[in-house]
């Protein structure tokens, strides 16, 4: 299996535990807690120093939970947690969990992170975003799958290879030594489009992919910002050929940051009603061009091409409820891709029309006509009159706007003028 463990205890002062994995497949169904302190072992009431190390030099380890330093206790002594990945065949899969937890629990941060060789994937965060992923070994560290750590990436030695979109997390990528190798992906976005690529000196990035360039927010050589446009080695077709920092056939595209605003009308709307979504993209380097994709959650509603920085989409098939709409700008040769804030489009079920009013009875009382009408309880209706039954309803005269009582009845008393011609009456409800 290739797993061994060792431990040392010096009563009252030191507890040491080491887990070595050199082969096989290990699946951990929960998180891992390192350097946990439990008992009070010394006369002064202090807990002994806890030192915990995981060495992964081979095999495959998947962890369905966070890898954390132990939670603090009363009168704690120092806790030292070390995670080491150093083996060509070693794989560590965090399955979307963290190394060191979130920013809300700094006591869970690991003290030493030693990434020298192997494969690392699906890392949600590293020490709450306070620590970068640092490649410091002389071998090759492959990062892949969906990594969302936000503290950035540093190549200080060896080769750091990224083989999928989003492999290098959300933060900036700095090449301080060694080599950065980008293998591309379905969108060739190994580096996050909102991140910067920084070279301390004459280090190189091997752009080992073809097709669309990897969009980046900025490119820096020794701290100096470089021009927008495409960069790559001679022969790559880049606008800015640079063989000092780039090899391979790929390109990176330095763009200007953009912003997007999404609105809708009407909101709320009714099931079946047409809703117009408008996305407006802006930036500091002229009018943005390109395409915006509209989504309801993960479902694509449609796309539109920007004209004067804006585009619209009309949709009449949204389901009842709260729909979570976003607009995704795909970027251009000038601007970075950007996604709007979520717009909550509320869609209600259409109300059924009230029942039509009717005349229950008509009688004469002296010189008045008494008309008893029936309608929706507490509803509103109009009483209209005309001397011609064929006259368009819009031309009939309104005698009253009445509210039906709680019993559904309303009595109308209408004076009778014997000198008038025959007169017709109509009840109408103001709907919709």
At residue 103, the pLDDT reads 73
Contact 156, 136 (CB under 8 A): yes
CA 364 – CA 358 distance, rounded (Å): 18
User: Out of 12-16, 153-157, 422-426, which region has the weakest mean confidence (pLDDT)?
Assistant: 12-16
At residue 9, the pLDDT reads 55
Contact 318, 350 (CB under 8 A): no
User: Out of 117-131, 265-279, 355-369, which region has the weakest mean confidence (pLDDT)?
Assistant: 355-369
At residue 72, the pLDDT reads 54
Domain ranges (residues) in the chain = 3-254, 258-348, 358-428
- As a residue count, the chain comes to 432
At residue 311, the pLDDT reads 98
CA–centroid distance for 343 within its chain: 12
At residue 285, the pLDDT reads 85
pLDDT over threshold 60, residue 46: no
Q: Is residue 12 very low, low, confident or very high in pLDDT (cuts 50, 70, 90)?
A: low
**Mean pLDDT along residues 175-199:** 95
Neighbours of 257 (CB within 10 A): 14
% of residues, the chain, pLDDT over 90: 61
In 184-309, beta strands by DSSP E: 196-199, 204-207, 214-216, 218-221, 224-225, 229-232, 240-241, 246-248, 252-254, 258-265, 269-270, 275-283, 291-296, 299-305
394: left (phi over 0), alpha (psi -120 to 50) or beta: alpha
Tell me if the domain spanning 258-348 has CATH number 2.60.40.10. Answer: yes
Let me know the angle formed at the C-alpha of 209 by 206 and 212, rounded to the nearest 5 degrees: 120
SS3 150: coil
Neighbours of 217 (CB within 10 A): 17
Nearest to 131, CA basis, from 150, 108, 117: 150
Q: Is residue 234 very low, low, confident or very high in pLDDT (cuts 50, 70, 90)?
A: very high
Report in angstroms the alpha-carbon separations of 107 from 33, 34, 96, 110.
Answer: 12, 12, 21, 9
Q: Is the peptide bond before 425 cis (omega within 30 degrees of 0)?
A: no
CA 382 – CA 430 distance, rounded (Å): 8
At residue 406, the pLDDT reads 75
% of residues, the chain, pLDDT over 70: 90
pLDDT in tens, 255-309: 988 999 999 999 999 999 999 999 999 998 889 999 999 999 999 999 999 999 9
CA 292 – CA 288 distance, rounded (Å): 11
Contact 133, 155 (CB under 8 A): no
At residue 360, the pLDDT reads 84
Q: Is residue 422 very low, low, confident or very high in pLDDT (cuts 50, 70, 90)?
A: confident
At residue 8, the pLDDT reads 58
**What pTM was computed for the model?**
0.68
At residue 47, the pLDDT reads 59
**Mean pLDDT along residues 381-388:** 85
SS3 127: helix
pLDDT over threshold 80, residue 363: yes
CATH number of 358-428: 2.60.40
Q: Is residue 44 very low, low, confident or very high in pLDDT (cuts 50, 70, 90)?
A: low
Contact 18, 55 (CB under 8 A): yes
pLDDT in tens, 202-212: 999 999 999 99
pLDDT over threshold 70, residue 76: no
Question: 290-318 b/e with 16+ CB inside 10 Å = b?
Answer: bebbbbbeeeebeebebeebbbebebeeb
**Mean pLDDT along residues 124-142:** 96
**Mean pLDDT along residues 136-140:** 95
Alpha-carbon dihedral of residues 220, 225, 231, 233, nearest 10 degrees?
-50
Mean pLDDT of the chain: 88
At residue 16, the pLDDT reads 75
User: Out of 208-212, 324-328, 370-374, which region has the weakest mean confidence (pLDDT)?
Assistant: 370-374
């Amino acid at each position: 299996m290739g797993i061994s463990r060792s431990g040392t205890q010096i009563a009252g002062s030191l507890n040491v535990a080491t887990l070595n994995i050199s082969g096989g497949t290990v699946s951990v169904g929960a998180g891992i807690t390192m350097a946990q302190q439990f008992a009070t072992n010394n006369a002064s009431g202090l807990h002994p120093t806890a030192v915990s190390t995981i060495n992964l030099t081979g095999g495959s380890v998947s962890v369905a939970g966070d890898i954390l330093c132990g939670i603090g206790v009363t009168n704690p002594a120092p806790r030292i947690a070390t995670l080491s990945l150093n083996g060509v065949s070693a794989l560590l899969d965090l399955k979307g969990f963290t190394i060191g937890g979130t920013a809300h629990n700094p006591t869970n941060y690991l003290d030493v992170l030693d990434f020298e060789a192997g494969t690392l994937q699906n890392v949600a965060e590293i020490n709450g975003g306070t620590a970068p992923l640092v490649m410091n070994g002389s071998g090759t560290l492959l990062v892949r799958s969906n990594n969302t750590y936000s503290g950035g990436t540093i190549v200080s030695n060896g080769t750091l290879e990224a083989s999928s979109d989003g492999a290098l997390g959300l933060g900036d990528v700095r090449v301080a030594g060694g080599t950065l190798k980008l293998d591309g992906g379905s969108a060739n976005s190994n580096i996050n489009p909102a991140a910067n690529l920084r070279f301390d000196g004459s280090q190189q990035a091997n752009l080992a992919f073809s097709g669309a360039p990897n969009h980046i927010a900025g490119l820096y050589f020794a701290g100096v910002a470089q021009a927008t446009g495409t960069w790559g080695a001679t022969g790559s077709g880049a606008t800015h050929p640079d063989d000092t920092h780039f090899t391979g056939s790929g390109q990176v595209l330095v763009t200007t940051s953009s912003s997007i605003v999404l609105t809708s009308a009407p909101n709320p709307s009714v099931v079946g009603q047409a809703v117009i979504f408008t996305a407006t993209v802006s930036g500091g380097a002229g009018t943005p061009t390109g395409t915006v994709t509209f989504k309801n959650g993960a479902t694509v509603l449609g796309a539109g091409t920007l004209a004067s920085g804006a585009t619209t989409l009309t949709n009449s098939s949204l389901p009842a409820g709260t729909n979570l709409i976003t607009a995704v700008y795909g970027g251009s040769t000038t601007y970075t891709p950007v996604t709007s804030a979520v717009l909550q489009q509320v869609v209600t079920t259409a109300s059924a029309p009230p029942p039509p009013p009717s005349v229950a009875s008509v009688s004469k009382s002296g010189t008045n006509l008494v008309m008893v009408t029936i309608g929706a309880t507490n509803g509103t209706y109009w009483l209209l009159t005309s001397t011609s039954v064929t006259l368009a309803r819009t031309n009939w005269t309104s005698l009253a706007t009445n509210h039906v009582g709680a019993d559904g009845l309303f009595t109308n008393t209408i004076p009778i003028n014997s000198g008038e011609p025959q007169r017709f009456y109509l009840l109408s409800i103001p709907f919709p």
